[in-house]
Amino acid sequence: MATDAVNERGTHITTVAFTDEDDAPVTPGSASYRIDDVGSDTEVRADTDIESLDEEIEIVWETADTSILDETHPYETRRMTVTWIYDTDKQNSAEYLLNIINLKGVTTPSPA
C-alpha cells in the first residue's frame, strides 16, 4: 500500500472503494471511519458515520485530521480505518495511510 503525503493542516481526499469478500464492488448499508496517529496511537477522529454511500466515495481529511501532534517530528503518519456492513450481516474494512509533513512555519490558529 502506497502512503500519500500532505502538508501539515492541509486538506486531503481519500477515495474509498467498498468491496465484498470477493473484491466485487458493493454499496454498503452502513459505513464508518476513524483516524489515528500511528506513532503515538492517539485517536485523531473518533468513529464517524459516513452518510452518503455508494460503491465508491471520497472522504475529506480536515485540517484537524492533518495537524501535527508533536512539533519535534519531521512528519507523522495517520491511519484511516474504514469499516462497512453489506448484505445485512457481512462486514469488510480497509486502511489508508497518510504522511503529514511538519511545516515549521505552520501553527494552529487561535480560536476566533
Domain ranges (residues) in the chain: 4-101
The pair phi, psi for residue 55, each rounded to 5°, is -65, -30
For 78, the enclosing helix (H) or strand (E) is strand 75-86
CATH topology assigned to domain 4-101: Immunoglobulin-like (2.60.40)
| Distance separating alpha carbons of residues 8 and 109, to the nearest angstrom | 13
Structure confidence at residue 108 as a pLDDT band (50, 70, 90): low
- Name 98's Cβ contacts closer than 8 Å, sequence gap at least 6: 3, 4, 5, 6, 12, 14, 61, 66, 77, 78, 80
pLDDT digits (tens, 9 = 90+) for 8-65: 999 999 999 999 999 999 999 999 999 999 999 999 999 999 999 999 999 999 999 9
